C-alpha cells in the first residue's frame, strides 16, 4: 500500500509535458532568443539596411530625364492641352513621413499585442522582419521607378506656373515644352510634380497593411476552421480597407492619377506576399502558414498547427 502511495505521489509531482511546452511559449530567455535570431538573420538584416540606404540615395538624387508637356494650341492662345494636369495643388491628407510611420507602427503594434495570446518570440520577430522585407523592397522598387520613369501629377501645371515663351516648342504644331523653358514655380514642388508614377503612398500602404491582413488571416486560422466567426473576416479586411482609403484619397486630392494608385497597390500587394513568405513557412498552406521560419522547436510547430 505504501509503495503504491509513493508511486502516486511521485507521478503527481512529475512535470506535465503539456505544461512544459506551455512554459516554452513565454518570453523567458528573451536575450538568448534575440541573440539566436540575430545570428540566423544578420545577413538579411544587413541587406535590408543596405537596400534602405540605397533607396534613400536614389530618392535624394535629382531627376535626370527631361519631360515634354503641352501648353497651348496655336498662336499662344493660352488654351490648355491635357486638362488632367491642370488641377489645383492640394496637400495630401497624410504626408509621406506620417503615412510611413502609420504603415510601419500599426502592424508592429498588432503583432506584438497578439503575443499576449501567442507568447512566441519567434513569431513576433519573424512577423516584424517580414514586414520590413515588404516595406523596404516595395519602397526601393517604387523610388527607382519614380526617378527613372515618373510622370506628371494632376496638379503639375498649377505648381509649374508656366509662362509661354516667345519661341515655339517642339512636336506637332510646336506645342511641347520642357520645364526649364516655361516653368516659373517652386523648384521642389515642380520636381515632386513630375514623380507621379507609381504612387508611393499606395505602395507603402499595401506593403504594410496587406501584409498585416495576411498575418491576421493565417494566425486567426480562417482556413483551418469549418465555420470561423465573422469577426475574424472583419479583422482581416479592416487593414485592406484602411490601405484603400489612404490610396484613393490621393486621387481625391489631385496628387495621383488612378493608374498611379493601381500600380502602387499591385506593387505593395506583391511585396507583402513575398515578405510574408520570407518570414513564414508558407502563405497558402493552412498547416504551415502560421509557422515562422526560424529556430522554433517541434513543440512550437505543434502549437501553431490547427488541431
DSSP the chain: -HHHHHHHHHHHSSPPHHHHHHHTTSSTTHHHHHHHHHHHHHHHHHHHHHHHHHHHHHHHSPP-----EE--SSTT--PPS-GGG-PPP---SS-HHHHHHHHHHHHHHHHHHHHHHH--HHHHHHHHHHHHHHHHHHHHHHHHHHHHT-B--TTHHHHH-----SS--BSGGG-EE-HHHH--S-HHHHHHHTB-SS-HHHHHHHHHHHHHHHHHHHHTTTTT-SS--HHHHHHHHHHHHHHHHHHHHHHHTTSS-HHHHHHHHHHHHHHHHHHHHHHBS-SS-TTTTTSBSSS--HHHHHHHS--
- What confidence score (pLDDT) does residue 256 get? 94
C-alpha span between 267 and 56 (Å, rounded): 19
Q: Give me the number of domains the chain comprises.
A: 1
- What confidence score (pLDDT) does residue 6 get? 46
- What confidence score (pLDDT) does residue 60 get? 87
Alpha-carbon distances of 123 from 84, 89, 207, 233, 263, rounded to whole Å:
47, 44, 19, 21, 31
- What confidence score (pLDDT) does residue 126 get? 95
Residue 289 lies in a domain: yes
- What confidence score (pLDDT) does residue 110 get? 97
Global pTM value:
0.83
Residue 13 lies in a domain: no
- What confidence score (pLDDT) does residue 226 get? 76
Q: Closest Cα to residue 137, out of 48, 269, 239?
A: 48
- What confidence score (pLDDT) does residue 80 get? 63
Residue 239 lies in a domain: yes
- What confidence score (pLDDT) does residue 266 get? 96
- What confidence score (pLDDT) does residue 75 get? 52
Residue 44 lies in a domain: no
Q: Note down pLDDT in tens along the chain; length 307 residues.
A: 444 444 344 444 444 444 434 444 444 577 888 888 888 889 999 999 999 999 999 988 887 677 888 876 545 555 666 788 889 999 888 888 899 999 999 999 999 999 999 888 999 999 999 999 999 999 999 999 999 888 899 999 999 988 878 888 888 778 888 888 888 889 889 988 999 999 999 999 999 999 999 999 999 988 877 788 889 999 999 999 999 999 999 999 999 999 999 999 999 999 999 999 999 999 988 888 888 987 544 444 444 433 4
Residue 17 lies in a domain: no
Residue 10 lies in a domain: no
Contacts of 305 (CB under 8 A, 6+ apart): 287, 290, 291
Instruction: Pull the grid cell for residue 85.
Output: 494636369
- What confidence score (pLDDT) does residue 81 get? 66
Domain that holds residue 268: 90-152+187-304
Contacts of 2 (CB under 8 A, 6+ apart): none
Amino acid at each position: 500500500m505504501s509503495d503504491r502511495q509513493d508511486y502516486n505521489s511521485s507521478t503527481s509531482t512529475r512535470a506535465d509535458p503539456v505544461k512544459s511546452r506551455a512554459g516554452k511559449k513565454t518570453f523567458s530567455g528573451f536575450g538568448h532568443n534575440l541573440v539566436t535570431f540575430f545570428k540566423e538573420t544578420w545577413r538579411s538584416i544587413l541587406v535590408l539596411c543596405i537596400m534602405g540606404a540605397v533607396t534613400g540615395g536614389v530618392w535624394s538624387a535629382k531627376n535626370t530625364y527631361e519631360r515634354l508637356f503641352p501648353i497651348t494650341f496655336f498662336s499662344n492662345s493660352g488654351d490648355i492641352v491635357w486638362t488632367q494636369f491642370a488641377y489645383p495643388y492640394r496637400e495630401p491628407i497624410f504626408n509621406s513621413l506620417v503615412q510611413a510611420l502609420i504603415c510601419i507602427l500599426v502592424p508592429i503594434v498588432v503583432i506584438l499585442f497578439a503575443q499576449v495570446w501567442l507568447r512566441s518570440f519567434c513569431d513576433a520577430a519573424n512577423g516584424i522582419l517580414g514586414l520590413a522585407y515588404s516595406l523596404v523592397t516595395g519602397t526601393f522598387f517604387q523610388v527607382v521607378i519614380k526617378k527613372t520613369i515618373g510622370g506628371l501629377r494632376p496638379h503639375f501645371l498649377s505648381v509649374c506656373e508656366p509662362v509661354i515663351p516667345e519661341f515655339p516648342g517642339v512636336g506637332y504644331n510646336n506645342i511641347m515644352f520642357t520645364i526649364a523653358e516655361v516653368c516659373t514655380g517652386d523648384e521642389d514642388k515642380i520636381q515632386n510634380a513630375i514623380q507621379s508614377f507609381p504612387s508611393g503612398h499606395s505602395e507603402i500602404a499595401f506593403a504594410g497593411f496587406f501584409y498585416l491582413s495576411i498575418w491576421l488571416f493565417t494566425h486567426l486560422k480562417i482556413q483551418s476552421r469549418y465555420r470561423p466567426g465573422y469577426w475574424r473576416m472583419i479583422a482581416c479586411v479592416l487593414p485592406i480597407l484602411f490601405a484603400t482609403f489612404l490610396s484613393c484619397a490621393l486621387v481625391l486630392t489631385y496628387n495621383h492619377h488612378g493608374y498611379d494608385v493601381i500600380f502602387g497597390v499591385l506593387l505593395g500587394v506583391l511585396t507583402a506576399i513575398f515578405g510574408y513568405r520570407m518570414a513564414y513557412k508558407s502563405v497558402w498552406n493552412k498547416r504551415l502558414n502560421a509557422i515562422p521560419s526560424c529556430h522554433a522547436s517541434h513543440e512550437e510547430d505543434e502549437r501553431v498547427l490547427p488541431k
